[in-house]
């Protein structure tokens, strides 16, 4: 991947109960290529699922590149822009470590407001959460 071509990552997380069963999803777009990844956890929070989506997406990138992270989460925006974080230090640290390899831009969109890819990521995260509930265990990509 060239640093001249942007890779877009659209992420979302879902949690029922908060804490409770959760799911995450990421849609990675590079030119005409698309990759979708998702997973979940039996006992988690929405913020942990949001950050897990970012981490999984950044891990999926094979080389340094320009990345636009599209999220409806202010929490994710703060985590990727060196905001002060009080919780989930393990995931915040990992997200920042992985992000340091890339040039990152964060675009925050309103959730459930018609952004097509954000809505799709939401549906994928909810589906991953439902798989966790059905399986009674963590769902892996």
Share of the chain above pLDDT 70, in %: 93
Boundaries of every domain in the chain: 6-134
Q: Are 27 and 67 spatial neighbours (Cβ–Cβ below 8 Å)?
A: no
Angle between helices 116-135 and 46-60 (to 10 degrees): 110
Choice among 34, 82, 83, 112 that is catalytic: 112
Copy the structure tokens of residue 110. 């309103």
Choice among 13, 23, 39, 40 that is catalytic: 13
Catalytic residue list contains 39: no
In this model, does residue 1 exceed pLDDT 90? Answer: no
Does CATH number 3.10.580.10 belong to domain 6-134? Answer: no
User: How far apart are alpha carbons 24 and 96 in whole angstroms?
Assistant: 18
Which of these, 26, 2, 3, 32, lies nearest to 14 by C-alpha position?
26
Each residue's pLDDT tens digit, 18-71 = 899 999 999 999 999 999 999 999 999 999 999 999 999 999 999 999 999 999
In this model, does residue 138 exceed pLDDT 60? Answer: no
More confident residue, 136 or 104: 104
């Amino acid at each position: 991947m060239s640093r001249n071509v942007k890779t877009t990552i659209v992420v979302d997380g879902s949690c029922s109960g908060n804490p409770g069963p959760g799911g995450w999803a990421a849609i990675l777009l590079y030119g005409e290529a698309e990759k979708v990844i998702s997973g979940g956890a039996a006992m988690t929070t929405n913020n942990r699922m949001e950050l897990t989506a970012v981490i999984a997406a950044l891990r999926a990138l094979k080389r340094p590149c320009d990345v636009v992270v599209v999220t409806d989460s202010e929490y994710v925006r703060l985590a990727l822009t060196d905001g002060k974080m009080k919780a989930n230090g393990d995931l915040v640290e990992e997200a920042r470590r992985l992000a340091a390899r890339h040039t990152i831009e964060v675009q925050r969109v309103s959730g459930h407001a018609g952004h097509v890819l954000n809505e799709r990521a939401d549906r994928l995260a909810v589906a991953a959460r439902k798989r966790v509930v059905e399986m009674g265990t963590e769902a892996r990509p």
